[in-house]
Amino acid sequence: MESESIVYGCIRDWSLADADEQRKRSLTNLQAIQELPEGDGWELFHRELFSCTSFESLAPQSQIIHFGSSYRSIEYEWSVWMQQFENLLKRMYWASAVVHLETETNGTHTFRWESEQHNHQPSAEELQVRCVWERESSLRL
């Protein structure tokens, strides 16, 4: 029997005083999500995973794009999921991103990306990720 894995998190961009610039950034991020494939039941990474507020409801707040899904044993294809997530981040404006992976067999992992200047712009640059692994055990010492 395959185990269930839960993936969820958010991508955060800073709010800007310049409404036109914030609108541009928000629309670029929305377009990057809309360019993902539709979920057909077999896609690991698709646009229906993501949700975000409209630009009109942002000012003067930060744009938060949240996502989540349940998978069957995603940890066996985790490197593929992570590569697709980083490819999406490379096409977006953001300050930070976090992904939580909860697995029945391998515990909980938290992955974080922080933009050095708190202002990542769309580019092909390599991204740096930090991972924290937490595992709960019923073993009592």
Copy the structure tokens of residue 123.
């580019």
Identify whether 32 is part of a domain.
yes
Q: Which of 54-63, 84-93, 107-116 has the lowest mean pLDDT?
A: 54-63
- 98 in a structural domain: yes
Q: Determine if the peptide bond prior to 122 is cis (ω within 30°).
A: no
Give the percent of the chain with pLDDT over 90. Answer: 45
Whether 85 is covered by a domain: the verdict is yes
- The domain in which residue 10 lies consists of 4-134
Supply 83's token pair: 């590569």
- Range 55-78 average pLDDT: 82
Indicate whether 79 belongs to any domain. yes
38 within a domain of the structure (yes/no): yes
pLDDT digits (tens, 9 = 90+) for 125-137: 777 777 666 555 4
Q: How many domains does the chain have?
A: 1
The answer as to whether 141 is a domain residue is no
Mean pLDDT of 64-68: 95
CA torsion through residues 4, 79, 51, 109, sign: positive
Vertex 87: Cα angle to 82 and 91 (nearest 5): 145
Q: Is residue 89 part of a domain?
A: yes
In a domain, 140, yes or no: no
132 Cβ partners below 8 Å, 6+ apart? 109, 110, 112
